[in-house]
Chain A
């Protein structure tokens, strides 16, 4: 089963590549059970929006942690 360390790798990589079906399923399952990783997921989403903001793009209204 996916541990938190591996889950954080997937939460990063999903921003750069399409995860496989298996990766997506195991990440979703892990997030259901792990509040730390759910927070991490939200933090990643905020960092991504912050970077867009700095790049002169208008911030999006809805920030969602999962894709």
Chain B
């Protein structure tokens, strides 16, 4: 039995990451955590804890890809807990809107059609965009520029993959309000990328 568990441990150590891989993984995890928590120190702690928790259970893995998925799922749960905590002790109202839709409304004419100069452009090959460091740099800048109340709902939906029903339960907002906030967040993010990534290239 001992030999069996030794074997497992040996295999587990082989599946665990090399130092260079850890650095890359940490980088990805930190980006993920920072964008949602908007607090570098808190993000650092969450990533550290997730890595430690994953390492402690490393003998359960059967493959590399699985390890990454597992580490991220631990991190995701940690972030959900942290966000829940914040919702219970809010520092600002989450339902408060950050102003008007003026910036978005200006893209359309009086009848609700795109103004010619504001018409969305073709962003080209998606694979190329995802492999483009400039795209990611601007993406992070745009996410960080997004108003807190929009970003909160957006990241819960798009990064944590929660359903809108769960999100509105959590934040005590109506589901239709949730859809409006998500549309607003996506519109802003899209516009920010269009202006700072596409039009500046």
The residues of A with any CB-CB pair to B shorter than 8 Å are: 3-6, 8-9, 12-13, 15-17, 34-37, 39-40, 42-59, 63
Contact = CB atoms under 8 A, between A and B. Distances in A.
B51 interface: no
Contacts of A17: 164, 179
Interface of B: 28-29, 31-32, 35, 65, 68-69, 71-72, 75-76, 105, 108, 111-114, 119-123, 126-127, 129-130, 135, 139, 157-161, 164, 178-179, 182-183, 186-187, 189-190, 193-194
B31 A12 contact: no
Contacts of A46: 123, 126, 129-130
A12 B153 CA distance: 14
Contacts, number: 104
- Majority secondary structure of chain B interface residues (helix, strand, loop or mixed): helix
B102 to A, nearest CB: 13
A16 B161 contact: no
A13 B122 contact: no
Contacts of A12: 179, 182-183, 186-187
Contact of B122 (A4, A34, A42, A50): A42
A13 B160 CA distance: 18
A45 B111 CA distance: 26
Contact of B183 (A9, A42, A49): A9
Contacts of B108: 3-5
B123 A55 contact: no
Given A46-B129, A54-B32, A56-B32, A16 B159 contact: no
A8 B68 CA distance: 35
A50 B129 CA distance: 9
Given A3-B113, A12-B179, A50 B159 contact: no
